[in-house]
Structure 1
Amino acid sequence: MPYSLTHLGGECSVTGSAHLLQIKSGPIILVDCGLSMGNDPSVPFSEWPVEPADIDYLFLTHAHIDHIGRVPDLIDAGFTGEILCSHPTKALLVPMLHDAMGFSNRSKDEGRRLESVIEELSWGFEYQQSFRLNKGVRFKLGRAGHILGSCFIHFTIPGEPKPCRILFSGDLGCRNSPILCDPDPPDACDLLIMESTYGDRNHEARDDRIERLETALNRALADGGKVFIPAFSLGRTQELIYEIDRILSAQGLRDTAGQGSALQQIPVFVDSPLGLEITNIYSSLSEFWDQESKSLFKEGDHPIDFKTLFAVKSYRDHQKALTIPGPSVVIAGSGMCTGGRIIDHLEAGLADAKNDVFFVGYQAKGTLGRQILKYGPRANGYAWINGEKVYINAKLYKLGGYSAHADQHELVQWVEEMPEKPGMIKLVHGEEEARSALQKVLEDRGYRL
């Protein structure tokens, strides 16, 4: 075999992705270098089979922190190779890591130095074009449909009697996601390293997702309370803005017909400096949007902006936002409630029965989001926030159809789009139940795992 593969994170968990591909007589490649969250394990650099300084290339499948969060640490540990990714990921990389480093013990000068190094080392590449590394190794990026810039990576390694082909799926997204193009069909490969986050379930239908969001908002805001939506700054925040914009546009048409609309005057606060910055970057990357978003923009309807959308930029504005009475909608990070401004909103608002919390994404084990979902429905349920016991009287909703990850059906469908069955599939990036369920479905269809 002309290579060895070592999983350094994300093999049996949903966060902390890092996969080391060592090519015999060729380059050493690391695919992702993510931060582990909740109880997910993380392999120290001292236990890696190679020194960070010996890694030639770091490929990034997308700019979520659980796939890029350890890049500054990798550089501090000696990495000086090239960082390769799609053009949108290149644009998102430094802003995402700037925010993440703000929670570390690094000084501002250290942070600026690392940002400069990352900018210098990183390169953006086009989708669906083949590029050459050293020793004849080639790679090609395909659209993964997870967030803007997400990709899967197809490597071709020279060998006899024929080249070896390895494909890393990265995080695969759902079809018909706002703003994003659908995942590209994958090329044939000998080994597929495939995510399995939702390998044990299928999402609710996405066709009526906007209608379900509108119904939930109308119901939740009817009593004058607040709706808190924990959302990742990258991806989910922009999707929510897009869909609220679609709701308001449709209600505007109904207003013209004299039917009225409840949400037209209710403020929507994006209380996330990073979320606001990423939204601006998304706006600047319209060439990578899907056709629907491009068409709306061309017609004068900016798909991620509307008149009742307010930016909460400074910490002083954040403090004011905490005391503004409802009804209102607050979108804030982090998506799993592990940090960020959503913590303050939950601490201040969970005990109020007029308020509501919409969970629109995966909540990993060990996170505050998972605790709230687990204990909130119980009598006198509570969560510990900033060392204080906070009772959960707010109503909790899990809105389906909002996952940025493909479900079991979509994962299988993506694999079946390959021109031929892969020689072997290795499932990663999923809890045991998800991996086991997806493995059985794939094996039943004749795939080797």
Structure 2
Amino acid sequence: MGEDSLVPFSEWPVEPADIDYLFLTHAHIDHIGRVPDLIDAGFSGEILCTHPTKALLIPMLHDAMGFSNRSKEEVKRLEAAIDELSWGFEYQQSFRLNKGVRFKFGHAGHILGSCFIHFTIPGDPAPYRILFSGDLGCKGSPILCDPDPPDACDLLIMESTYGDRNHEARGDRTQRLEKVLKRALADGGKVFIPAFSLGRTQELIYEIDRILSSQKQGEAAGQGSDLKNIPVFVDSPLGLNVTHIYGSLSEFWDKESKRLLKEGDHPIDFATLFAVKSYRDHQKSLTVSGPAVIIAGSGMCTGGRIIDHLEAGLEDAKNDLFFVGYQAKGTLGRDIITYGSRKNGYVRINGEKVQVNARLHELGGYSAHADQSELVRWVEEMPEKPGKITLVHGEKEARTALQKVLEDRGYRL
């Protein structure tokens, strides 16, 4: 599901009841959010995904359906149906469907469980091969295995989200985060980090854990430690649930995370990490004095518990607000960046004028999507050029830019 996911089912070329298989590339809600609607429309086929996506599927949809008009009984019915219809599969193993069609999942490196899908369809004189990229991630992302090299195919359907740009360097982002955290917390204020519950929250916990582990080593060598006693609050029920699920799926982590776990250093847990579970605990967290770090959803400040923290803390000049992801036009996050940097700048939260006195920081290198150079490099890793490439899941400008780059390299689009 991607850019055309809002097309009414009545306009689909196939009736939902006639669909045998639904493939999910990962568990972000913009890719799975219409699964309950599809079931209500008559779909009763099999839902195929990786094992981690299967584990994340119902928690993510349960949270999303909580914002719908469905009753608790309807939500339970749909969750039971989804659990019954969905199946998890291994990476890099070929599986057979009806009529001899085969599929294989490859690591996509976007979030835990994300995959691209290679289909082989019987044909004469040769089978026809289709590769669907899903959302591709970046190499070197915490916890995640790097994207696998793609197999050869006749048709490549590829995402183009960042087809017109390249990201900031990722290699030193942990060091940059540490530097900004030290400076931000030196005055005893709070650091607010809006973060999406699935993916970004776990990456931040991982990197703060790496910072603290590095400081422990420095302390053992007689050097000072600036952050070891600073509390880090995860104020997001969904983020906490997803982090717990991530922790239970260590067999799907990358080699570095597995090594840390084996050595007794859990990469997404540390002594000063605190879970803010109930709404009562959330209310208490609003009055916690600094220094402290608060990670809360939503990532673009469009809702969730981060709103209360910003309403209570944006006017305090000792506080800092870290943006670690894109802030779309029309979101509170974008408004804070736009107006907060101005003299006497302010935004409106819950209809009230809130002065932006907190210091603002935009930390690059945290995108979960491959950029233009990484997308091109991934295609070039194929053992042979695909017969044709179709670009999807990107704005027109991004698709056009990526198309030109690929055509200049001799690819057919």
Query: Normalised by the size of structure 1, how large is the TM-score?
Result: 0.89
Tell me which of 233, 250, 260 is aligned to 1:286.
250
**Aligned 8 A contact 1:266 1:329 in 2:** yes
SS of 1:200 mapped into structure 2: coil
Trace 1:47-446 onto structure 2 (pairs within 5 A).
47-446=11-410
Shift of residue 71, structure 1, vs aligned partner: 1.0
Shift of residue 192, structure 1, vs aligned partner: 1.3
Give the residue type in structure 2 aligned to 1:76. D
Deviations 1:112-150 (A, max 9, x none): 111111000000001111111112211110000111100
Q: Distance in 2 between matches of 1:236 and 1:279?
A: 10
Q: For structure 1, which segment, 381-390 or 199-208, has the greater mean C-alpha deviation from structure 2 after superposition?
A: 381-390
Query: Would the alpha carbon gap of residues 269 and 415 (structure 1) be closer, same or farther in structure 2, given more than 3 Å must change?
Result: same
Q: For structure 1, which segment, 294-303 or 350-359, has the greater mean C-alpha deviation from structure 2 after superposition?
A: 350-359
Deviations 1:355-380 (A, max 9, x none): 22211122334333233333332344
Q: Distance in 2 between matches of 1:389 and 1:48?
A: 45
**Aligned 8 A contact 1:269 1:331 in 2:** yes
Q: Distance in 2 between matches of 1:390 and 1:191?
A: 52
Query: Would the alpha carbon gap of residues 9 and 256 (structure 1) be closer, same or farther in structure 2, given more than 3 Å must change?
Result: closer
Deviations 1:144-169 (A, max 9, x none): 01111000011122223322211111
Deviations 1:164-202 (A, max 9, x none): 211111111111111111100001112211111222222
Q: Distance in 2 between matches of 1:168 and 1:398?
A: 32
**Aligned 8 A contact 2:154 2:388 in 1:** yes
Give the residue type in structure 1 aligned to 2:166. N
**Aligned 8 A contact 2:109 2:139 in 1:** yes
Q: Distance in 1 between matches of 2:347 and 2:118?
A: 44
Q: Which runs of 5+ in 2 are unaligned?
A: none
Query: Would the alpha carbon gap of residues 171 and 313 (structure 1) be closer, same or farther in structure 2, given more than 3 Å must change?
Result: same
Query: Would the alpha carbon gap of residues 149 and 9 (structure 1) be closer, same or farther in structure 2, given more than 3 Å must change?
Result: closer
Q: Distance in 2 between matches of 1:56 and 1:303?
A: 40
Q: Work out the number of aligned pairs and report it.
A: 413
Q: For structure 1, which segment, 243-252 or 347-356, has the greater mean C-alpha deviation from structure 2 after superposition?
A: 347-356
Q: Which runs of 5+ in 1 are unaligned?
A: 1-7, 12-17, 19-41
Tell me which of 3, 17, 36 is aligned to 1:10.
3
Q: Distance in 2 between matches of 1:401 and 1:201?
A: 13
Deviations 1:381-437 (A, max 9, x none): 333332333333322222111111111111111010011111221222222332222
**Aligned 8 A contact 2:201 2:295 in 1:** yes
Give the residue type in structure 2 aligned to 1:230. P
- Root-mean-square deviation (CA, aligned residues, Å) is 1.5
SS of 2:286 mapped into structure 1: helix
Query: Normalised by the size of structure 2, how large is the TM-score?
Result: 0.96
Shift of residue 55, structure 1, vs aligned partner: 1.6
Q: Distance in 1 between matches of 2:317 and 2:131?
A: 48
Shift of residue 9, structure 1, vs aligned partner: 4.2
SS of 2:99 mapped into structure 1: helix
SS of 1:201 mapped into structure 2: coil
**Aligned 8 A contact 1:9 1:43 in 2:** no
**Aligned 8 A contact 2:130 2:155 in 1:** yes
**Aligned 8 A contact 1:293 1:303 in 2:** yes
